[in-house]
């Protein structure tokens, strides 16, 4: 984190200028003249006018990606050379880390300390890791009879459409783009209309790093127009999406109505965090539970928004979480001391606050928070909020809120905890706190989740896959397995 004061970040924000043009075929394109306003949730002020793309801009970006794949050098380069370009992207992102972090903070409200230290660290590490991995894949030659030779080769799929959300705009873009580029694919990225500026800057940095024209294109626009055009496009071979289940279903329909492109989905979550009486450190379990649900303003698909606590320790753990929630510093995301910034916008704030009102109406007990704060700033801020006495049938326990709202439920034995944890349509992540190794293994196997953290939460690195079960999606980001989404296996049988 650079040693900048609040005033210094404010000064940089006032002088910060970034083009809102699309980045297509290696150059900025203004599109047809239509624009939308990028408004900062920290104070409601205009950050930039952004080119608003539609079918024409998507067509241009896909055509550029198609040319770059069919006739350009990128898929034909030695994998090690592709890898060196990805590493160069990582190096340039490191050089411009402060600028990228500022873009993220201004457009979606994340504390600048988190944007710089966490979001940018993830982006830089992702490009570096896949750059180092690019030449490590090998093809196969299965054993056959002596009169034949069989080859199994892994080939890039083609043009990838990547649609990413606003909560981690660079991390999630990197998780899609880097393995696709490492495989030799070309990409059209559509960022959320709530977070276009950081993605546009990333596109320009990638071109500066040496990506040939058309290999990475960034098109702005809203989902029903630009996202739909990308999903229906017959020249897109793979569609990778992170976002809501409702939009994920739309992309599956778009694929069915067009060219049956492969669709990889990372969708929502309602993740359980189970604390057993034999947890190695109850205070640490409570502190991690609070951190997990309030980090990034609770705008995380993996947020441990259901805290399941054994009845014998429920009040002790809940009190510790409530105490931590009351200590959290909510404020201007440009202040390095801020721990929780602004929600992404006024509409989302109202949606999250609506869940608070619903929880009260359903009879849950509000232990702390629940109120809008800092309204005089023009920004979208909500207090860290904790409910207990939550019934499993309440909307608080069933629906993804995507905000700083925690629901506490109690249980009497491990089997009940597992039933409560799995009583959701989602299956993205889960947490478990126990000192018993056998319990850890048994419960982890029983939980229907793509990731289970034991005595921790949100830990891991790029060596492990990330993704969900059930209605949390399919396929995996991160790790070597992510490259599988962007490659085809081809069998060549040679009769000798």
Known catalytic membership, residue 456: no
- Of 29, 57, 107, 266, the catalytic one is 266
Phi, psi of 94 (to 5 degrees): -65, -40
Please answer whether residues 136 and 184 qualify as being in contact, where contact means their C-beta atoms are separated by less than 8 angstroms: no
Gyration radius from the chain CA atoms: 23
Known catalytic membership, residue 185: no
What string of H, E and C letters represents the secondary structure of the chain?
CCCCCHHHHHHHHHCCCCCCCEEECCEEECCCCCEEEEECCCCCCEEEEEECCCHHHHHHHHHHHHHHHHCCCHHHCCHHHHHHHHHHHHHHHHHCHHHHHHHHHHHHCCCHHHHHHHHHHHHHHHHHHHHHHCCCCCCECCCCCCCEEEEEEEEECCEEEEECCCCCHHHHHHHHHHHHHHHCCEEEEECCCCCHHHHHHHHHHHHHCCCCCCCEEECCCCHHHHHHHHHHCCCCCEEEEECCHHHHHHHHHHHHHCCCCEEEEECCCCCEEEECCCCCCHHHHHHHHHHHHHHHHHCCCCCCCEEEEECCCHHHHHHHHHHHHHHCCECCCCCCCCCECCCCCHHHHHHHHHHHHHHHHHCCEEEECCCEECHHHCCCEECCEEEECCCCCCHHHHCCCCCCEEEEEEECCHHHHHHHHHCCCEECEEEEECCCHHHHHHHHHHCCCCEEEECCCCCCCCCCCECCEECCECCCECCCHHHHCCEEEEEEEEEC
What are 83's two structure tokens? 């890898």
**C-alpha closest to that of 404 among 308, 318, 470, 339:** 339
The whole-angstrom separation of Cα 419 and Cα 103 is 42
Task: Tell me which residue has tokens 């900025």.
Answer: 28
What are 230's two structure tokens? 């990308």
Task: Tell me which residue has tokens 């640490």.
Answer: 284
- Of 57, 301, 383, 400, the catalytic one is 301
The whole-angstrom separation of Cα 163 and Cα 412 is 42
Please answer whether residues 412 and 327 qualify as being in contact, where contact means their C-beta atoms are separated by less than 8 angstroms: no
**C-alpha closest to that of 270 among 223, 231, 307:** 307
Active site residue ranges: 266, 301
């Amino acid at each position: 984190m650079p040693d900048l004061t609040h005033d210094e970040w404010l000064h940089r924000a006032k002088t910060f200028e970034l083009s809102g043009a699309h980045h297509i075929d290696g150059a900025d394109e203004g599109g047809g003249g239509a624009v939308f306003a990028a408004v900062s949730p920290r104070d409601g002020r205009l950050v930039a006018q952004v080119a608003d793309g539609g079918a024409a801009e998507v067509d241009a970006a896909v055509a550029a990606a198609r040319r770059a794949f069919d006739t350009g050098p990128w898929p034909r380069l030695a994998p090690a050379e592709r890898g060196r370009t990805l590493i160069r992207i990582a190096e340039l992102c490191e050089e411009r880390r402060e600028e990228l972090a500022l873009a993220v903070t201004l457009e979606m409200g994340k504390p600048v300390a988190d944007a710089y230290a966490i979001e940018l660290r993830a982006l830089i590490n992702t490009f570096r890791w896949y750059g180092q991995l690019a030449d490590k894949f090998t093809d196969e030659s299965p054993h056959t009879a002596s009169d034949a030779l069989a080859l199994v080769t892994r080939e890039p799929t083609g043009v990838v459409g990547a649609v990413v959300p606003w909560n981690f705009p660079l991390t999630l873009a990197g998780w899609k783009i880097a393995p696709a580029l490492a495989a030799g694919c070309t990409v059209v990225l559509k960022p959320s209309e709530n977070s276009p500026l950081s993605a546009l800057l990333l596109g320009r940095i990638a071109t500066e790093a040496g990506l040939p024209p058309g290999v990475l294109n960034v098109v702005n626009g809203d989902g029903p127009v630009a996202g739909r055009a990308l999903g229906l496009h017959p020249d897109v071979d793979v569609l990778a999406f992170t976002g809501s289940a409702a939009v994920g279903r739309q992309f599956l329909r778009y694929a069915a109505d067009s060219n049956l492109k492969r669709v990889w989905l990372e969708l929502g979550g309602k993740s359980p965090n189970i604390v057993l009486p034999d947890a190695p450190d109850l205070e640490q379990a409570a502190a991690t539970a609070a951190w997990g649900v309030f980090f990034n303003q609770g705008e995380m698909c993996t947020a441990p928004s259901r805290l399941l606590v054994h009845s014998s320790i429920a009040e002790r753990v809940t009190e510790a979480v409530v105490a931590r929630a009351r200590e959290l510093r909510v404020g201007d995301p440009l202040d390095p001391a801020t721990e929780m910034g602004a929600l992404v916008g006024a509409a989302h704030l109202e949606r999250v606050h609506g869940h608070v009102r619903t929880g009260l109406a359903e009879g849950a007990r509000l232990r702390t928070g629940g109120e809008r704060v800092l309204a005089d700033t023009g920004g979208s801020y909500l207090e860290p909020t904790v409910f207990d006495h939550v019934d499993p049938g309440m909307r608080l326990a069933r629906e993804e809120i995507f905000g700083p709202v925690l629901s506490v439920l109690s249980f009497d034995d491990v089997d009940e905890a597992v039933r409560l944890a799995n009583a959701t349509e989602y299956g993205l992540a889960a947490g478990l706190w126990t000192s018993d190794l056998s319990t850890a293994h048994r419960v982890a196997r029983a939980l229907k989740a793509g990731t289970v953290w034991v005595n921790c939460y949100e830990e891991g690195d790029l060596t492990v896959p990330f993704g969900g079960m059930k209605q949390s999606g399919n396929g995996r980001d991160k790790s070597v397995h992510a490259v599988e989404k962007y490659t085809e296996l081809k069998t060549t049988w040679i009769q000798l």
